Amino acid sequence: MNQQPICELADLATAVPDGARLAVPSDNCGVAMAATRELVRRGVRGLHLVCVPWSGLQADILIGAGAVATIETSAVTLGEFGPAQRFIEALRHRRIRILDSTCPAVQAALQAGQKGLPFIPLRGLIGSDLLASRPDWKVIDNPFAPGDAIAVLPAIHPDIALFHAPLADRSGNVYIGRRRELLTMAHASKQTFVTVEAISEHDLFDDPKLVPGLVPSIYVSRIALARHGAWPIGLPGHYGADDAAIGRYVQSAKTEDGFRRFLDEWLIDAAVPA
């Protein structure tokens, strides 16, 4: 058990080394945007970003800031706001390496990492052109039914899982509710860093209503308090997305100069709601 998991937000970001394989969740799961800002502020470089199973604003900002060397994802999209322009530009100019994947493939490979397996089979990839672009994915004969082809994927073992959650306690237990993919990320990763809306002085394991939705402290390395830490993305069940702020980002990120102006302002004053 981590005896002193609580730290300052800047210290949490400093503990993410250059070149780390960093697992992050999709926008509907609790994205650690305040921590992302600190990562950009300190100039992190060479990240291998594992999106579980896709990403949006977080990935686009990290890519635009030059923090990402490789991205492993099923998609990078801003949804109804349109395409992720910094991601598209980075691909067009070959500034990043992409490991194209699918939602089930990311989840399955993480589950293999969670269970300590070297690889995991996945039926649905047979016939997909993704197999041609992923030499690390293999097609083998089902050992129990010769002639039956099955794809096998290497396990994903992130160095760090990073996400935002509603609540933690001082022992390091983190409440994630029904977002079980966050638990899978924590199980599969060497370390888990979490930002939270609040820190309880009471052990969350003492509350039977919270226990089913906890990530136990044994999997959690660092916790930092960051109120509205997912902003401008929403935290489901707690606050919605700030569409106006995301819209301003989208307009700015259409050009490199616009993105740089956004970044300068964002790093100085994030204008997080009170």
**Backbone torsion region of residue 189, taken as left when φ is above 0, otherwise alpha when ψ lies between -120 and 50, otherwise beta:** beta
Tokens 């390395």 sit on residue: 221
Task: Write down the domain spans for the chain.
Answer: 6-102+157-268, 119-154
Backbone angles phi, psi at 265, to 5 degrees: -70, -40
Q: Are 61 and 86 in contact (CB under 8 A)?
A: yes
List, for residues 57-95, the tens digit of each pLDDT value: 999 999 999 999 999 999 999 999 999 999 999 999 999
Tokens 């989208």 sit on residue: 250
List, for residues 28-63, the tens digit of each pLDDT value: 999 999 999 999 999 999 999 999 999 999 999 999
Q: Average pLDDT of the chain?
A: 95
Nearest to 175 by CA among 216, 230, 218: 216
Per-residue pLDDT band for 2 (boundaries 50, 70, 90) equals: low
**Is the pLDDT confidence value at 3 over 90?**
no
Superfamily of domain 6-102+157-268: Glutaconate Coenzyme A-transferase (3.40.1080.10)
In the Cβ-directed half-sphere of 189, how many Cα atoms lie within 13 Å? Answer: 30
β-pair type (21-25, 6-7)? unpaired
